[in-house]
């Protein structure tokens, strides 16, 4: 039985995000941007060349280019600004997505409360 709205919100949001795990996806993308940025700023000329070529020129062929494109779209930043992505931005993205579903979560919570007898619908 659901004891409060907070428990319900936690339960439903956990159920929604357990399948796609939005924060973990954002965190992984954040780690990818750190790696890409480190490669682009590398002192090793070979690493720097391969990273620049993959990110800026043949983007969809090498994995580093596809990762850069994915992170760019996910965080809504240009490829040149990937170095500015941090965990705070990833957390804000997660909260924005959660807030977008807040009304749906509240409706589901109310329906679950009615189902379990915690609330009664008056007509």
Distances (CA, A) of 15 to 10, 12, 44, 105, 109: 8, 5, 45, 10, 12
Kindly report whether the global pTM for this prediction surpasses the value 0.75.
no
Each residue's pLDDT, cut to its tens digit, for the chain (123 residues) gives: 444 545 544 444 454 444 456 667 777 888 888 899 899 999 999 999 999 999 988 878 888 889 899 888 888 888 888 877 777 777 777 677 666 767 777 788 888 888 887 776 665
d(C-alpha 58, C-alpha 8), whole Å: 47
d(C-alpha 67, C-alpha 103), whole Å: 32
Do residues 71 and 80 make contact, with C-beta atoms less than 8 angstroms apart? no
Q: Which two tokens stand for residue 76?
A: 């809504």
Do residues 68 and 54 make contact, with C-beta atoms less than 8 angstroms apart? yes
pLDDT at 123: 55
């Amino acid at each position: 039985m659901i004891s409060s709205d907070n428990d319900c919100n936690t339960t439903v949001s956990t159920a929604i995000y357990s399948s796609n795990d939005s924060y973990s996806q954002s965190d992984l993308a954040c780690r990818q941007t750190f790696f890409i940025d480190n490669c682009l700023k590398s002192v090793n000329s070979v690493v720097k060349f391969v990273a620049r070529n993959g990110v800026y020129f043949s983007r969809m062929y090498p994995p580093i280019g596809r990762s850069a494109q994915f992170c760019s779209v996910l965080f809504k930043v240009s490829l040149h600004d990937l170095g500015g992505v941090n965990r705070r931005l990833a957390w804000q993205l997660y909260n924005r997505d959660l807030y977008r579903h807040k009304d749906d979560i509240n409706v589901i919570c109310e329906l679950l409360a009615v189902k379990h007898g915690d609330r009664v619908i008056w007509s």
